[in-house]
Amino acid sequence: MTTRDTSSGQNTGDNGVPSTIVTVPFDRYEIVLELGPHREFLRIVEVRISKDFRSVQQKVESVDYHDVSDLYEDR
Amino acid sequence: MFYESEPQAVLRFGDVVRGYVLSAPQIDSPGTSPPVRYRVEVHSPKFAVIMSPCCSIGDGTLAISPLIEVRPQFFWNPYFAENLTNINRPMPAEKAVWPDEWAKLTPEDKQKRMSDGDAYALVEYFIYAPHDLLPPYAVKCPGGSSETGCYMLDFRRICRIECNKIVKPEQAPLETKVLQISIETRGELRDKLAWYFGRTPKEDML
């Protein structure tokens, strides 16, 4: 989930309700939601297709690792 | 956003909790049945993290891991020192070591490592970002002593507790809950934990 807090950027005279934009992954989609100051649902801003089409299994298999643990051990 | 600003009234995977005891049996002579020499040491960490998946919290059982202090050596790497939670995500090979160490590698070794693309380093660890509720502590950094509010999980230290009050996520001792991580952070923790247990050893690869 990614979050953009719009509550801190209000200008003088701006009486809009402070809100937060969050992106929630849902299956193959990403749902962009607007939440109120108490994280209550306000509206769906956007529904888009996730660009990461990999399953968890595919993610696990596609990532190798850097074998550097020895460098960070106590000496 | 690493933590939720308004935690839910349920226990969730990745929550920081307190007030639990953990134990790790130490067996001197495994293999005999029953083992003749063993010790069970119990300790109560200041903070711990729920490692059970959200839907598997209940039935009086919880997987949990102590939240421990980070290794001072992490601060030798400027990429980590800038933001220790970089350890939680795949990274380019040259970011996984500090510049002096990278400079020691041969061009061929650098090329080989870079060809792996972004990958996890320090696979056993997951860093928790500073928070007002987590007391900072001193660490010895390259430039001298410093202070950090970061803590970490070591996946090798996960253990199980039993508590009859943990019936289901919303019917549990919620007073033990200190912090809840955001959906994004929980996704990173889930990805790294799944990768830690799900990787195929090189010797098993065809």
B87 touches chain A (CB under 8 A): no
Chain A residues within an 8 Å CB radius of B110: none
The answer to whether A66 contacts B93, with C-beta atoms less than 8 Å apart, is yes
**Among B122, B182, B183, beta carbon nearest to A72:** B122
Res A5 pLDDT > 60:
no
Radius of gyration for chain B, computed over Cα atoms and rounded to the nearest angstrom: 19
Instruction: Over range B110-131, report the average pLDDT.
Output: 91
If you count residue pairs, one on A and one on B, with CB atoms under 8 Å apart, how many are there? 68
**Higher pLDDT pick, B184 / A18:** B184
pLDDT-derived band at A12, boundaries 50, 70, 90: low
**Can you give the pLDDT at residue B75?**
92
- Whether B111 has a pLDDT exceeding 60, the answer reads yes
What does chain B come to in residues?
A: 206
Of A8-17, B3-12, B26-35, B183-192, give the lowest mean pLDDT range: A8-17
A50 chain-B contacts, CB cut-off 8 A: none
pTM comes to 0.79
pLDDT digit string (tens) for A39-75? Answer: 788 999 999 888 777 666 666 566 678 888 888 887 6
Cβ contact B119–A63 (<8 Å)? yes
Q: Which positions in chain A touch B118 (Cβ < 8 Å)? A: 63
Whether residue A65 and residue B119 make contact (CB cut-off 8 A), yes or no, is yes
Chain A's closest residue to B116, CA to CA, is A64
Q: What is the mean pLDDT of chain B?
A: 91
Q: B19: which 2 tokens? A: 């007030």
C-alpha B59/C-alpha B64 separation (Å) is 15
Note whether A41 contacts B: Cβ–Cβ < 8 A. Answer: no
Task: Give the pLDDT mean for B24-49.
Answer: 87
**Residue B101 predicted with pLDDT over 90:** no
3-state secondary structure of B101: helix
Question: Does the pLDDT of residue B69 top 60, yes or no?
Answer: yes
Task: State how far the Cα of A22 lies from the Cα of A2, in Å rounded to an integer.
Answer: 5
If we measure between CA atoms, which residue out of B110, B84, B79 comes closest to residue B95? B79
Q: What is the mean pLDDT of chain A?
A: 75
The C-alpha of B70 sits at a distance from chain A's nearest C-alpha, in angstroms, of 11
- Report whether pLDDT(A9) > 80: no
Percent of chain A with pLDDT over 90: 11
Instruction: Check residue B173 and give its pLDDT.
Output: 95
Q: Within 10 A of B140 (CB to CB), how many other CB atoms are there?
A: 11
Is the backbone peptide bond immediately before B7 cis, with ω within 30 degrees of 0? Answer: no
Residues of B in contact with A2 (CB under 8 A): 184
Angle CA(B132)–CA(A23)–CA(B127) in degrees, nearest 5?
35
**Which residues on A lie below 8 Å from B1 (Cβ)?**
3, 5
Are B56 and B36 contacting, i.e. CB atoms less than 8 angstroms apart? no
Highest mean pLDDT among A17-26, B28-37, B158-167: B158-167
Q: Do B123 and A64 touch (CB under 8 A)?
A: no
Query: Containing H/E element for B62?
Result: strand B61-66
pLDDT of residue B77: 93
Lowest mean pLDDT among A8-12, B40-44, B99-103, B106-110: A8-12
Residue A49 in contact with partner chain B when CB distance is under 8 A:
no
- Which is more confidently placed, B117 or B67? B67
Mean pLDDT, rounded, for B122-129: 96
Those residues with Cβ within 8 angstroms of residue B164's Cβ, 6 or more apart along the chain or in another chain: B60
**pLDDT for res B21:** 95
Predicted pLDDT of residue A59: 62
B58 or A75: whose pLDDT is higher? B58
